[in-house]
A and B are shown apart, each in its own frame.
Chain A
Amino acid sequence: MSILQDIKNAVRSRSIHVAYVDVGSCNGCDIEVLACLAPRYDIEQYGIYVHNNPREADILLVIGSVTPQWVDKLRDIWEKIPEPKVAVAIGNCPISGCVYARRGTLTTPPVENYIPIAAQVPGCPPRPTEILNAILSVAPLIYKDYEEKQR
């Protein structure tokens, strides 16, 4: 069993599938996630693949301070992701609401109220390296020996 687990660990460490969802951001953080895909940072060399299909994803990147229309849809997306899964909050918006957290705001942050968040990447927007580091450091915590931890 442990050999099988070792194989799974090795494969999973080089195959992290990511979906990202924008639940009402200013697009700043979306651009930074996009920059991760571009050759300068090249997310795929670290074994991270962006599919944007929750059914294939291991990690959900949540971007933006949650607008009321997104509340139930975000939960739907989260439920569609197969176990094991984690959500990472990208930017200040899902953490605190950032500049939108004012009197009379139309957003309803933080995102923690709706789905469990495993890691937060503060910044407005965070650097692509910070996003990459967060994904790379949260993934092994969740996926390493997942089956053995379940028992």
Chain B
Amino acid sequence: MRSIFYYVREFLRPEWLKKFFFAKTAPLVSPSYFKDYPSLTEKECTACLSCMMICPAPGAIAVLRKKDGWEPEVYPGHCIRCGLCVEACPEGVLASGRILDVARRDKTAFLSWYRLQVDDNLCMRCGNCCVSCPVNREVDPQLAGTGTSASDEVIMRIEGGRVTILHEEKCTGCKTCENNCPNRAIRVARMVEGVQGEEAEA
């Protein structure tokens, strides 16, 4: 009898009743370390476009010309919050969660370059890619029409009726050649390597 009394009394404690009827888990807020949409820091953007180049989601980030300089803009609804742009930016313009702190602590960085590939079955040797490439134009202003060039310093040229890629490392990844190819024969691929330690500091 006594035990039942204690039992009931235990259940009638106000704080127990309150917890039972009004229990709530933690309030609906995101923790401070949550990797949210990248936000702007005070740093100045140099419009190097590394952020746009590394972004895996279509249409998620654009570097826009503002009144006083350039500024990256992230579009929710497209951005997948991967944080790669935050890590890739050499100026530290973007910030999100603890990404910058962790990258600084672990001394990590991204190296990137571009790879050009021409599908010989699709290519019809028009030379549009060689002519349209802005780097090519700068190296050899004579380059026109057929895409042949006397200069060995161009990224690519038509040689013996085929596109020959000479200096892949000069490519800036603008994809002008890809857009100007009528057959989608040339593809520009961005290669990214994550590095750590001394390599990253260089």
Using a Cβ–Cβ cut-off of 8 Å, how many residues does chain A contribute to the interface with B?
22
Of B29, B34, B76, the residue contacting A122 (CB under 8 A) is B76
Any B CB within 8 A of the CB of A101 = yes
Query: Is B166 located at the chain interface by the 8 A CB criterion?
Result: no
CB <8 Å contact, A133 and B28: yes
Q: Is B57 an interface residue when CB atoms closer than 8 A count as contact?
A: yes
Interface string of A88-127 (1 = CB under 8 A from B): 0000100111110110000000000000000010111001
Contact assessment for A101 and B58 in the assembled complex, using a CB-CB cutoff below 8 Å: yes
> How far does the Cβ of B133 sit from chain A's closest Cβ, in whole Å?
21
Residue of B nearest to A130 (CB): B30
Residues 157-194 of chain B: 1 if any A CB is under 8 Å from the residue's CB, otherwise 0? 00000000000000000000000000000000000000
B77 contacts A92, CB within 8 Å? Answer: yes
Q: Are B78 and A39 in contact (CB under 8 A)?
A: no
Smallest CB-CB separation from B76: which chain A residue?
A122
Most buried by B among A45, A124, A132: A124
State whether A127 touches B77 (Cβ < 8 A).
Answer: no
A40 at the A/B interface (Cβ < 8 Å)? yes
Q: How far is the CB of B79 from chain A (nearest CB, A)?
A: 8
B58 touches A102 (CB 8 A): yes
Q: Give the size range of B's interface with the partner.
A: 10 to 19
Interface residues of A in 113-151 (CB under 8 A from B): 120, 122-124, 127, 129-130, 132-133
Q: Do B25 and A129 touch across chains, with their CB atoms under 8 A apart? A: no
CA distance A20 to B80 in the complex (A): 21
Let me know if B24 is at the binding interface, CB within 8 A.
yes
Contact A98 B78 (CB under 8 A): yes
Asked whether A129 lies within 8 Å of B58 as measured between CB atoms, the reply is: no
Q: Which residues of A contact B79 (CB under 8 A)?
A: 92, 122, 124
Are A39 and B25 in contact, with the CB atoms below 8 A?
Answer: yes
Which B residues touch A98, using CB under 8 A?
57, 78, 80
A42 at interface by CB-CB < 8 Å:
yes
- Of B23, B30, B57, chain A has the most CB atoms within 10 Å of the CB of B57
A39 to chain B, nearest CB (A): 7
Task: Verify if B141 is at the interface (C-beta below 8 Å from A).
Answer: no
Chain A 52-101 interface residues, beta-carbon cutoff 8 Å to B: 92, 95-99, 101
CB atoms of A92 and B25 under 8 A apart: no
Q: How far is the CB of B24 from chain A (nearest CB, A)?
A: 6
Inter-chain contacts of B58 with A (CB < 8 A): 96-97, 99, 101-102
- B30, A99: Cβ atoms under 8 Å? no
Q: How far is the CA of A120 from the CA of B75 in the complex (A)?
A: 13
B22 smallest CB distance to A (angstroms): 9
CB-CB contacts below 8 Å: B71-114 with A = 76-81
Top 8 A-B pairs ranked by shortest CB distance?
A124-B80, A122-B76, A95-B77, A122-B77, A129-B28, A101-B58, A96-B78, A96-B77
Q: Which residues of A contact B (CB under 8 A)?
A: 39-42, 45, 92, 95-99, 101-102, 120, 122-124, 127, 129-130, 132-133
8 A-B pairs besides A92-B77, A99-B58 with CB distance below 8 A are: A45-B24, A45-B25, A96-B78, A99-B56, A102-B58, A123-B80, A124-B81, A133-B28
Q: List 5 A-B contacts (CB under 8 A).
A: A45-B23, A99-B57, A122-B79, A124-B80, A129-B30
